[in-house]
């Protein structure tokens, strides 16, 4: 969805941080694993910056919603939780089902920042027969098959 579509569909959502057009240039082909990992680092940095600004009273406290695919959320969670990010076969995977909900709490404190995973892979809003994704094999394949990020 574009920023205008998001704001039209969800009137209470502030989508001002969403680009007016998509962030990816389709002429480049598929994003590589390395490119996606770099993007995950950038998103993690952005989220921590937002959390720090909210904690300092520089921005209004709010929830932040991210809509993405399973491989990217795996990369983002690994970045936020300081799990090694590699290419090829993965030693650990955060396997998410399609359209699932994760809830994180970014705690900014003088004695150090922390990230809490409060809800992981919640699909209770989806009828059981319609649930899909979330397999180790599928996510592992995406990492080992370069260009499928």
**Confidence tier at 142 by pLDDT (50, 70, 90):** confident
Mean pLDDT of 76-96: 87
Mean pLDDT of 16-26: 80
Report how far apart the first and last C-alpha atoms of the chain are (Å, whole number): 20
Q: Which residues contact 65 (CB under 8 A, 6 or more apart)?
A: 13
How many Cα atoms sit within 13 Å of 33 on the Cβ side? 16
State the average pLDDT for the chain: 88
Q: Say what the pLDDT of residue 146 is.
A: 63
Mean pLDDT of 39-54: 95
Q: Look at residues 130, 57, 140 and name the one whose alpha carbon lies nearest to residue 93.
A: 140
- Per residue, the 3-state secondary structure of 106-148, as one string, reads EECCCCCCEEEEEEEEECCCCCHHHCCECCHHHHHHHHHCCCC
What's the CA gap between 137 and 88, in Å, rounded?
Answer: 13
State pTM to two decimals.
Answer: 0.84
Most confident of 63-67, 85-89, 100-104: 100-104
Mean pLDDT of 103-124: 94
Helix (H, G, I), strand (E, B) or coil at 33: helix
What's the CA gap between 49 and 99, in Å, rounded?
Answer: 26
Q: Which comes out higher in pLDDT, residue 77 or 145? A: 77
Q: Which comes out higher in pLDDT, residue 89 or 113? A: 113
């Amino acid at each position: 969805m574009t920023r205008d579509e998001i704001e039209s569909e969800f009137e209470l959502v502030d989508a001002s941080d969403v680009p007016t057009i998509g962030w990816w240039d389709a002429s480049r082909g598929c994003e590589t694993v390395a490119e996606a990992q770099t993007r995950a680092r950038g998103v993690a940095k952005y989220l921590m910056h937002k959390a720090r600004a909210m904690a300092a009273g520089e921005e209004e406290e709010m929830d932040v919603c991210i809509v993405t695919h399973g491989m990217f959320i795996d990369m983002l969670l690994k970045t936020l939780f300081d799990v090694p990010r590699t290419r090829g076969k993965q030693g650990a995977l955060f396997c998410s089902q399609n359209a699932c909900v994760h809830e994180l709490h970014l705690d900014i404190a003088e004695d150090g920042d922390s990230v809490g995973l409060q809800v992981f892979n919640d699909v209770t809003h989806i009828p059981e027969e319609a649930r899909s994704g979330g397999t180790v094999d599928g996510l592992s394949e995406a990492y080992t098959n370069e260009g499928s990020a």
